[in-house]
Structure 1
Amino acid sequence: MTSIYNLRQYLDILRRENELLVIDTEVDPYLEIAEIHRRVIASNGPALLFTKVKGSSFPVVTNLFGTNRRLELAFGTRPMDFVADLVRLAEQAMPPSLSTIRQAAPLALQA
């Protein structure tokens, strides 16, 4: 996996992977963007880049991490591995002991 250092790099990756929809039509930031965003999330759709936001010189991007695939594109499998390790530790840590506390130390550092 390539390291991502900024939002622009991540957006480029999303474009290459067909995970980004660019909306060039002017949209109102008051409720319109939120409603489009809500509908896209409900259909498990792509990340959205609104390039013409009414009254603003800044674009708006939403739904960047809305699916497991986009999370993996951004962070690799590390978050999922971390959660799996936490679950495994919780299952093995009952009853708590000094050795299970020692096992938890690396996870605490990751968190």
Structure 2
Amino acid sequence: MSVIPKSSAVGRTVVRRLVNDRPPASERPFARKKTVGFTQEVCEQRTMEYLKTHPYITGKVYRGLCRCGKTKAAADLKKMMQEGKLVRTFVGNAYLFRVPMDGRKEKRKIKKK
């Protein structure tokens, strides 16, 4: 660390770190390490295992299972829905994804007026 006196402060010194004073990231004890999520296949497998014991899965739960962000979770769930592995239902202000009944692809029925 280097001490740089501040001209406006009377009788005080301000301690500032210079960029060159920092050790490389590999030597810092609490350096952030990039976390890597799971592959698409592993996430899909974990989702199906989860749905064997639960009636539905939400995006938040999926993010916890697969260690990913909101956007990737939404894209993965949408892809599984388009492949017919999941069915999306809107409840309250959230989408719930569940396994289709009888293993077949379900389509939402639209009532005609």
TM-score (norm 2): 0.28
User: Would you tell me which structure has more helix in proportion to its own residues?
Assistant: 1
* More strand by percentage: 2
Structure showing greater Rg: 2
Greater RCO, CA 8 A, separation 6+: 1
